[in-house]
Amino acid sequence: MTTKKYAVLSLSGGMDSSSLLLHLLAHNYSVFALSFDYGQKHKTELMCAQKQVKLLQDKGFDIHYKVIT
């Protein structure tokens, strides 16, 4: 019997956190990803994070996502 593994990830949408997200999912983690909207001028990374999460959820990966303002 395998025990389900869980991880909480601060997902910026950049290369480092996105790579870690994929690594965790590849190792069968259920991931709770959080992004922070702190009023940054460029929202590009937040938009990337949201797109990544939607794509992975649509492919059936166990990922939950929330943006915290």
> What are the tens digits of pLDDT across the range 30-59?
999 999 999 888 889 999 999 999 999 999
pTM to 2 decimals? 0.89
Domain that holds residue 61: 5-68
Say whether pLDDT at 13 is over 70.
yes
Q: What is the mean pLDDT of residues 11-28?
A: 96
Which residues contact residue 14 at a Cβ distance below 8 angstroms, ignoring those fewer than 6 apart?
45, 48
Within 10 angstroms of residue 33's Cβ, the number of other Cβ atoms is 23
E strands, 1-69, in order: 5-10, 29-36, 63-68
How many independent structural domains does the chain possess?
1
Query: What are the Cα distances from residue 38, in Å, to 1, 21, 26, 28, 35?
Result: 42, 21, 30, 30, 10
CA separation for the pair 68, 23 (Å, rounded): 23
**CATH assignment of the domain containing 34:** 3.40.50.620
Say whether pLDDT at 3 is over 90.
no
As a whole-number percent, the residues of the chain with pLDDT over 90 amount to 86
Q: What is the pLDDT of residue 1?
A: 65
